[in-house]
Structure 1
Amino acid sequence: MIRRRLNIVSNPDEKKIHTFQDWQTWDGAWELINGKPYNMSPAPSSLHQFIVGELHFALRAFFQNQSCYVFVAPFDIFFSESENYESPDHVTQPDLSVVCSKDQITKNGCLGAPTLIIEVLSPSTALKDFNEKFNLYQKYGVQEYWIVDPGNQTVHVYSLQDGSYQIRQLYTEQETIQSNVFKELHVPMPHLFAL
């Protein structure tokens, strides 16, 4: 099973390809995607945190009597090519994750794809969220992926169909987001950008 970080403290060489063993030695919060390290600092903006809080509240209310669990960052998601999670291939920290299999949850995070992942864009993460994470989440079977864009006040909802994100919906300011996986889940957009 995955062990927590080692006591050795270092920082990654961002020009080098790294492994999970390297990741365990890094100081601070890092993601590891395709061997590339991504620093999770500095802290997000107040608008980013407000949106995450509003979404967390909506998700918790919706899932409170269901067998799905809602996690807010920092919460590690481990993706592995094999069933061996001793040395996963990728580690991400989505803003919000909905895990519908309790067997995936460990004391250190989630093993494998959550059912739903939500990322709230910031200037430093936009390209990664639309490219590397999009491809990673699609490859490993995250059923639904929301990308919230505070700058444009939009939400992109991607749902898997036949192994790829073929269902794409764009919600704008006054609309209500509707999940494709959880048909009864509706989140009014105006609440998200009220700050």
Structure 2
Amino acid sequence: MSNPDEKKLHTYQDWLTWEGAWELINGKAYNMSPAPTALHQFVVGELHFALRTHLQNQSCYVFVAPFDVFFSESDSYDVPDHVTQPDLSVVCSKDRISKNGCHGAPTMVIEVLSPSTALKDFNEKFNLYQKYGVQEYWIVDPGNRTVHVNALQDGLYQLRNLYTEQDDVRSNIFKDFQISLSKLFNLET
């Protein structure tokens, strides 16, 4: 096992040899450490609980990181082109779920920003999720207490709503799902 050179381009075969948690996007290695903050983990936990309660794992399954999502230019996932670990993945196609993660686009992805991941979440991951057809992409920003909800329309994300702390954030694809942002960000530290 080894660690990648973050200045070089890599392949999935390289990714298989790396120690620790890494993402591979457009050949670039992204380290998933250091550990997230308490607020980040609180927000992920609250969203996971709310989604699991709403969906009940009946036709959609909710996964929390670390959970690998594999994207491939071809229909074969033996050698994927990209590997991400979204904070939350909602998968509504059971045939995409395997013992090692999700092969293809989840229906919904939620990323909770950390200072070290914000640019990647707004840029590389935004473009990747859009390209591969993630129907809804939430970017949760605990620092600014906002949630950006992006919905796929005609192959491109259209920013549907920017929710602030006074709002209840609503999903575009799970019509009855909403969560109060004041509760979501209410961790006293």
> In the TM superposition, what is the alpha-carbon distance from 1:134 to its structure 2 partner?
0.1
Q: Take 2:146 and 2:154, find their aligned partners in 1: how far apart are those partners?
A: 26
Q: Take 2:57 and 2:36, find their aligned partners in 1: how far apart are those partners?
A: 31
Query: Which amino acid is 1:66 matched to?
Result: Q
Is this contact kept in 2: 1:146–1:157, CA < 8 A?
A: yes
The 5-angstrom pairing of residues 58-137 of structure 1 reads 58-64=50-56, 66-137=58-129
> In the TM superposition, what is the alpha-carbon distance from 1:167 to its structure 2 partner?
3.8
Query: Which amino acid is 2:113 matched to?
Result: L
TM-score (norm. length: structure 1): 0.95
Q: Which deviations, in whole Å up to 9, do the C-alpha atoms of 1:63-118 show, x marking residues without a partner?
A: 00630000000000000000111100000000000000110000000000000000
Residue 166 of structure 1 is matched in structure 2 by 158
Q: Take 1:84 and 1:56, find their aligned partners in 2: how far apart are those partners?
A: 29
Query: Which aligned segments of 4 or more residues in structure 1 are displaced greater than 3 angstroms?
Result: none
Give the SS at the match of 2:78. coil
Q: Take 2:152 and 2:77, find their aligned partners in 1: how far apart are those partners?
A: 24
Supply the RMSD in Å over aligned alpha carbons. Answer: 0.7
Q: Which deviations, in whole Å up to 9, do the C-alpha atoms of 1:119-141 show, x marking residues without a partner?
A: 00000000000000000000000
Is this contact kept in 1: 2:169–2:178, CA < 8 A?
A: yes
Query: Which amino acid is 1:23 matched to?
Result: W
Q: Which deviations, in whole Å up to 9, do the C-alpha atoms of 1:31-81 show, x marking residues without a partner?
A: 000000000011000000000000001000000063000000000000000
Q: Runs of 5+ in structure 1 lacking a partner? A: 1-8
Q: Take 1:126 and 1:166, find their aligned partners in 2: how far apart are those partners?
A: 19
Q: Take 2:5 and 2:159, find their aligned partners in 1: how far apart are those partners?
A: 37
> In the TM superposition, what is the alpha-carbon distance from 1:174 to its structure 2 partner?
1.2
Q: Does 1:150 align with 2:142?
A: yes
TM-score (norm. length: structure 2): 0.98
Give the SS at the match of 2:36. coil
> In the TM superposition, what is the alpha-carbon distance from 1:188 to its structure 2 partner?
1.0
Query: Which amino acid is 1:137 matched to?
Result: Y
Is this contact kept in 2: 1:161–1:167, CA < 8 A?
A: no
Aligned length: 187
Q: Take 1:99 and 1:134, find their aligned partners in 2: how far apart are those partners?
A: 18
Q: Runs of 5+ in structure 2 lacking a partner? A: none
Q: Does 1:19 align with 2:11?
A: yes
Is this contact kept in 1: 2:107–2:136, CA < 8 A?
A: yes
Q: Take 2:106 and 2:144, find their aligned partners in 1: how far apart are those partners?
A: 26
